[in-house]
């Protein structure tokens, strides 16, 4: 008996060595997983075989030594299962742990058990099945009496489902349903942080993403299968910009399949910038761990990790979508040195001012080099017909030639480009509509498909009133020289016009309709 008690005491001592961060701590430990989804779209195995293989990889990551210090761990969108292997998910109000409960599929049961064993908060994205109708939803049900949702499931450190968020803004996701209205899902943790969560394409909309921020949520969980687009919406680029503008901690876990444009994972500390991030040129499955300073502890030290940066030639393997650039009104940046070049562009009711100090690295060469255009857009775009939205933007972006159709493209196959333009400083200013129906942020990316660091920019907004209406005067500056700049912009969404069929579409000489946002997220890639 004494031996048994001794062994139990030893077990208790070992078991208690892993302690969650406390509410008093300035930091918490977070893990985000960039998970290769290539196998999901290329395998000839049965859906059940794929899920079993993926679950084994999930378990390997959770059980790895790198995961030992974690308080919370996040997996990406659309890598766990599919409609054929969908699982019921308990209502968080029921406080159910699916562990060993045969009502739920193995992906949910096993991860619930593991969250409890490892004593961590675990966030996974699954295809959920749910009996319908429910919650007063009067829409017709499918013949099998089931709805299917793209769902984030949050397990606490006991394995109990404490939050469930169903994606509201879908991107062509065949067979996936939405809730009647956007859910605002949050959950509290034992380490003193309340998180909100949404999924991928939700980032482009007011509901639920910005509504969560306005409610006071400072930490966001963001599983995604992002499809990057030049010049404004590559994965890490928009993640960092969104976190910076809202001054929130963003935990972004990305599905990895660069051959179709999918990558982008990171942990971002609001206006303090990215702690760790990656844009991959090869499919990857890897856990990234970060010590995250709590937003309400400005004194907390931030421990940024070395930048993971691939060459422009390596990043050629990352397929990138192209913005509908033909809708912008543009002006060429001259191929000649001036003291400080200044210009203005207007479209509809928006005017942008540009002040640019740059040097030319040498005489015009026969080697390929990026040219640049100043651009403005105040108009409408479509996301492949699945969502029509309004964009407002002032920008400088690169082109491979002299015509507009060469903009938002790259030199391919490792072309030996030369950095002709060296930007010493840039200042963009504009007066934009204000209020909650417009969302504006600083936006930049370089030729290696990474955003500029936050200490390389200076971004400010001042709210003003004109004719009784709210406006915001914005200044965005580049404050450190760059010779590898791809784009630099003030970028914004106008939500109120999304629903207005009579809203004006920009018409300008030499230009048609605009665009400016298109990251593409889909639970079923076709």
Decide if 77 is catalytic: yes
Q: What are phi and psi of 142, to 5 degrees?
A: -70, 160
267: left (phi over 0), alpha (psi -120 to 50) or beta: beta
Task: Supply 306's token pair.
Answer: 């070395």
| C-alpha span between 484 and 479 (Å, rounded) | 14
Q: If DSSP states are collapsed to H, E and C, what string results for 439-469?
A: EEEEEEEECCCCCCCHHHEEEEEEEEEECCE
| C-alpha span between 153 and 120 (Å, rounded) | 14
Cα–Cα separations (whole angstroms), residue 100 to 55, 107, 116, 153, 434: 15, 11, 12, 17, 52
Length, in residues, of the chain:
526
513: left (phi over 0), alpha (psi -120 to 50) or beta: beta
Beta strands at 350-360 and 341-347: parallel, antiparallel or unpaired: antiparallel
Beta strands at 249-256 and 219-224: parallel, antiparallel or unpaired: parallel
| C-alpha span between 521 and 79 (Å, rounded) | 13
Decide if 352 is catalytic: no
390: left (phi over 0), alpha (psi -120 to 50) or beta: beta
3-state SS assignment for residue 520: coil
DSSP conformation class of 10: H
Neighbouring C-alpha atoms within 13 Å toward the C-beta of 5: 2
Torsion of CA 452, 454, 457, 462, to 10 degrees: 130
3-state SS assignment for residue 403: coil
Which is the catalytic residue, given 40, 129, 167, 294? 167
**Distance from CA of residue 360 to its chain's centroid?**
34
| C-alpha span between 163 and 171 (Å, rounded) | 23
Compute the C-alpha angle 82/141/130, nearest 5°. 45
Check if the beta carbon of residue 325 is closer than 8 Å to that of residue 407: yes
Which is the catalytic residue, given 38, 40, 173, 200? 200
| C-alpha span between 338 and 188 (Å, rounded) | 55
Check if the beta carbon of residue 361 is closer than 8 Å to that of residue 422: yes
Cα–Cα separations (whole angstroms), residue 260 to 42, 174, 310: 12, 18, 18
Helical segments of 119-158, H only: none
Which is the catalytic residue, given 77, 128, 173, 284? 77
Whether cis (ω within 30° of 0) applies to the bond prior to 208 is yes
Helical segments of 456-526, H only: 495-498
Decide if 40 is catalytic: no
Give the residue carrying structure tokens 């590559």: 234
Catalytic machinery residues: 77, 167, 200
């Amino acid at each position: 008996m004494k031996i048994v008690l001794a062994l139990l005491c030893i077990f208790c001592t070992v078991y208690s060595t892993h302690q969650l961060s406390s509410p008093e701590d300035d930091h918490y430990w977070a893990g985000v997983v960039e998970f290769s989804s290539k196998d999901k779209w290329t395998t000839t195995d049965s859906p059940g075989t794929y899920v079993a293989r993926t679950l084994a990889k999930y378990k390997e990551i959770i059980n790895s030594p790198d995961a030992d210090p974690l308080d919370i761990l996040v997996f990406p969108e659309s890598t766990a299962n599919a409609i054929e292997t969908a699982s019921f998910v308990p209502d968080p109000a029921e406080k159910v742990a699916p562990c060993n409960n045969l009502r739920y599929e193995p992906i949910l049961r096993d991860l619930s058990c593991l969250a409890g064993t490892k004593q961590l908060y675990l966030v996974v994205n699954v295809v959920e099945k749910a009996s319908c109708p429910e919650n007063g939803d009067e829409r017709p049900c499918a013949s099998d009496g089931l709805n299917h949702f793209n769902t984030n499931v949050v397990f606490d450190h006991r394995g109990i489902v404490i939050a469930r968020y169903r994606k509201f803004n879908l991107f062509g996701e065949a067979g996936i349903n939405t809730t009647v209205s956007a859910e605002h899902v949050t959950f509290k943790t034992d380490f003193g942080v309340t998180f909100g969560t949404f999924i991928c394409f939700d980032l482009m909309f007011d509901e639920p993403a910005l509504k969560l921020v306005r409610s006071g949520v400072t930490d966001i969980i963001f599983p995604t299968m992002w499809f990057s687009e030049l010049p404004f919406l590559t994965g890490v680029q928009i993640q960092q910009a969104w976190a910076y503008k809202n001054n929130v901690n963003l935990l972004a876990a990305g599905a990895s399949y660069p051959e179709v444009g999918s990558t982008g994972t990171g942990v971002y500390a609001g206006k303090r910038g990215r702690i760790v991030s990656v844009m991959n040129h090869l499919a990857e499955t890897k856990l990234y761990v970060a010590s995250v300073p709590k937003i309400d502890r400005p004194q907390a030290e931030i421990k940024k990790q070395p930048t993971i940066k691939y060459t422009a030639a390596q990043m050629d393997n990352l397929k990138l979508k192209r913005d509908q650039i033909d809708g912008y009104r543009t002006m060429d940046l001259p191929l000649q040195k001036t003291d400080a070049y200044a210009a203005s562009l207007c479209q509809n009711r928006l005017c942008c001012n540009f002040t640019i100090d740059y040097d030319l690295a040498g005489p015009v060469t026969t080697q390929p080099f990026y040219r640049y255009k100043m651009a403005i857009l105040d108009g409408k775009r479509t996301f492949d017909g699945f969502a029509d939205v309004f964009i407002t933007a002032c920008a400088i972006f690169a082109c491979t030639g002299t015509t507009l159709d060469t903009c938002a493209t790259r030199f391919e196959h490792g072309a030996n480009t030369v950095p002709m333009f060296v930007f010493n400083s840039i200042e963009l200013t504009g007066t934009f509509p204000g209020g909650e129906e417009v969302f504006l942020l600083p936006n930049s990316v370089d030729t290696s498909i990474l955003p500029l660091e936050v200490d390389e920019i200076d971004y400010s907004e001042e709210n003003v009133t004109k004719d009784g209406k709210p406006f915001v005067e914005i200044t965005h500056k580049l404050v450190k020289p760059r010779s590898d700049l791809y784009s630099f912009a003030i970028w914004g969404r106008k939500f109120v016009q999304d629903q207005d069929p009579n809203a004006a579409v920009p018409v300008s000489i030499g230009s048609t309709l605009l665009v400016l946002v298109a990251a593409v997220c889909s639970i079923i890639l076709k």
